[in-house]
């Protein structure tokens, strides 16, 4: 259950926001966003699954949960493919994509939170945590000690350089993302959070409510910009907190945890938008078609997290959880990330349909994604729910072929 919920959310959030920004943001690239979703799905379901198979195969997978994850992803991809071939999507169809993921999560809870399923999930999560902990504690320490023995001066210099460029980023994040641990409580940072978080939240909604919107505040005949009113109110609250709050909370606060999550999502969404702006600039300067940018730079960059996390799980002796994350993460990107963006777009043109731009490269991406999913489901089922090593080579070869064909099509058709 952890693999198809927490692991999928953690690995899929940046990809989902980047693709949603590509589809729905001002000046966005709809074709690049859709190509990124499909190419990232093909990358994870073929290349990453193949890598996990080469590292840990042969290994067994739980029949019920494996069939559930792959089949639901296959149904979701097939449904979206049908919608794409119809060249238009209505609001109810976009909402249905998001609701299908909610149905999938509910099905996961129903299957895994039974008496026997709950015990199995807890054991898997404990083993995965222990395995990842060993990978995180043992391997880096060994490599670090080796480097220190070889060249301690170089390691010290690199460590200092890393801290130099990390400090400004960490400082800005501390100012805008509250810490949830009582041991890290700091009155100055908390006051900065109270003052700056509402402004950042207002900025994230600036496309709906302009920052310079004039509203009446305090003085009946005077109108002030909305951002100044929010800044004044939050600054007063910050001063009050600084004067009256003396001690750190004894336990974690649910409100601060929720605010931390919201602010983290806002930062991810903002960075995704900036990433798309950079990709658009690169495409304009180097005259690259949007589809190539979506299926290479955007898809690979956003899928690195899936590759690292799933390979680490496979090396830690937990390939089953890694395989589950390989299907749940891309499905989250497709149904929640792309689905949410489509809900916004279809709501703007409701009751009319939102027109989808046809491109043969998108069709090729759908075909290869469906082939990898159907092939994995059939091969693993035929092998009595064991992942064979030869299928890892087949999946990696399939993804290489997909990349070559897609880039060739994008280069010729634009």
pLDDT in tens, 321-357: 778 777 887 888 888 878 887 888 888 888 888 888 7
Strand spans (E) along 139-239: 214-217, 219-225
- 399: which 2 tokens? 């993804």
Residue with tokens 């600084």, as numbered in its chain = 242
- Closest among 271, 207, 407, 290 to 30, alpha carbons compared: 290
% the chain with pLDDT above 70: 73
- Closest among 304, 307, 319 to 386, alpha carbons compared: 319
Do 178 and 252 form a contact (C-beta atoms < 8 A)? no
pLDDT grade for 15, boundaries at 50, 70 and 90: low
φ/ψ region of 213 (left if φ > 0, alpha if ψ in -120 to 50, else beta) reads: beta
φ/ψ region of 248 (left if φ > 0, alpha if ψ in -120 to 50, else beta) reads: beta
- 326: which 2 tokens? 């390989």
153-162, 281-290, 380-389 — most confident range: 380-389
Q: Which residue has the higher pLDDT, 283 or 184?
A: 184
7-11, 114-118, 170-174, 235-239 — most confident range: 235-239
Residue 378 pLDDT exceeds 90: yes
Q: What is the pLDDT of residue 137?
A: 38
Rounded to whole angstroms, the Cα distance separating 80 from 356 reads: 11
Q: What is the pLDDT of residue 77?
A: 92
- 128: which 2 tokens? 């995965």
For residue 20, report the phi and psi dihedrals to the nearest 5 degrees. Answer: -65, -40
| Lowest-confidence pick of 59-63, 123-127, 317-321 | 123-127
Do 83 and 366 form a contact (C-beta atoms < 8 A)? no
What are the contacts of 395-401 at 24+ separation with CB within 8 A? 395/45, 395/46, 395/47, 395/49, 395/50, 395/53, 396/46, 396/47, 396/50, 396/51, 396/54, 398/46, 398/368, 398/371, 398/372, 399/42, 399/43, 399/46, 399/47, 399/50, 399/368, 399/372, 401/368
Q: What is the pLDDT of residue 304?
A: 67
Q: What is the pLDDT of residue 247?
A: 75
- 90: which 2 tokens? 């209505």
10 Å CB burial of residue 171 (0-12, 13-18, 19+) is exposed
% the chain with pLDDT above 90: 10
Strand spans (E) along 123-187: none
**Cα angle 324-374-405, degrees, rounded to a multiple of 5:** 105
How far is CA 3 from its chain centroid? 14
Q: What is the pLDDT of residue 62?
A: 85
How far is CA 104 from its chain centroid? 17
| Lowest-confidence pick of 168-182, 287-301, 340-354, 361-375 | 287-301
Do 234 and 194 form a contact (C-beta atoms < 8 A)? yes
Q: Give 255-280 as a DSSP string.
A: HHHHHHHHHHHHHHHHHHHHHHHHHH
Q: What is the pLDDT of residue 103?
A: 92
Mean pLDDT over 9-28 rounds to: 54
Domain 1-118+265-413 in this protein, CATH class? mainly alpha
Residue with tokens 């460029």, as numbered in its chain = 165
Do 333 and 19 form a contact (C-beta atoms < 8 A)? yes
Do 325 and 52 form a contact (C-beta atoms < 8 A)? no
Q: 217 CB contacts (<8 Å, ≥6 apart)? A: 223, 224, 229, 232
């Amino acid at each position: 259950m952890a693999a198809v919920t927490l692991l999928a959310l953690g690995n899929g959030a940046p990809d989902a926001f980047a693709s949603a920004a590509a589809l729905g943001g001002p000046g966005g690239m709809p074709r690049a966003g859709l190509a990124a979703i499909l190419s990232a799905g093909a990358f994870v379901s073929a290349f990453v699954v193949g890598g996990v198979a080469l590292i840990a195969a042969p290994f067994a997978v739980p029949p019920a949960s494996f069939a559930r994850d792959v089949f639901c992803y296959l149904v979701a991809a097939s449904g979206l493919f049908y919608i794409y071939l119809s060249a238009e999507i209505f609001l109810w169809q976009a909402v249905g994509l998001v609701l299908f993921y909610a149905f999938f999560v509910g099905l996961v809870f129903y299957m895994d939170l039974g008496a026997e399923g709950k015990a199995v999930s807890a054991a898997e999560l404990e083993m995965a945590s222990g395995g990842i902990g060993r990978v995180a504690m043992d391997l880096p320490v060994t490599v670090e000690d080796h480097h220190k023995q070889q060249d301690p001066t170089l390691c010290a210099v690199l460590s200092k350089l890393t801290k130099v460029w990390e400090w400004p980023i960490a400082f800005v994040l501390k100012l805008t993302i509250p810490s949830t641990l009582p041991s890290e409580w700091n009155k100055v940072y908390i006051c900065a959070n109270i003052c700056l978080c509402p402004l950042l939240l207002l900025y994230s909604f600036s496309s709906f409510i302009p920052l310079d919107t004039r509203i009446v505040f305090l003085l009946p005949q005077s109108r002030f910009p909305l951002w100044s009113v929010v800044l004044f109110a939050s600054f007063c609250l910050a001063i009050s907190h600084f004067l009256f709050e003396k001690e750190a909370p004894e336990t974690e606060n649910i409100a601060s945890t929720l605010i931390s999550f919201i602010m983290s999502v806002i930062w991810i969404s903002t960075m995704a938008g900036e990433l798309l702006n950079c990709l658009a600039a690169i495409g304009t300067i180097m005259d690259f078609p949007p589809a190539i940018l979506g299926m290479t730079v955007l898809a690979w960059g956003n899928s690195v997290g899936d590759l690292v996390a799933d390979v680490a799980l496979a090396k830690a002796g937990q390939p089953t959880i890694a395989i589950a994350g390989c299907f749940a993460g891309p499905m989250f990107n497709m149904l929640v990330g792309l689905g949410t963006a489509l809900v916004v777009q279809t709501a703007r043109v409701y009751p009319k349909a939102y027109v989808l731009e046809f491109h043969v490269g998108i069709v090729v991406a759908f075909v290869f994604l469906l082939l990898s999913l159907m092939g994995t489901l059939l091969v693993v089922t035929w092998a009595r729910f064991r992942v064979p090593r030869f299928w890892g080579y087949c999946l990696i070869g399939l993804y290489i072929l997909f990349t070559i064909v897609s880039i060739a099509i994008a280069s010729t058709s634009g």
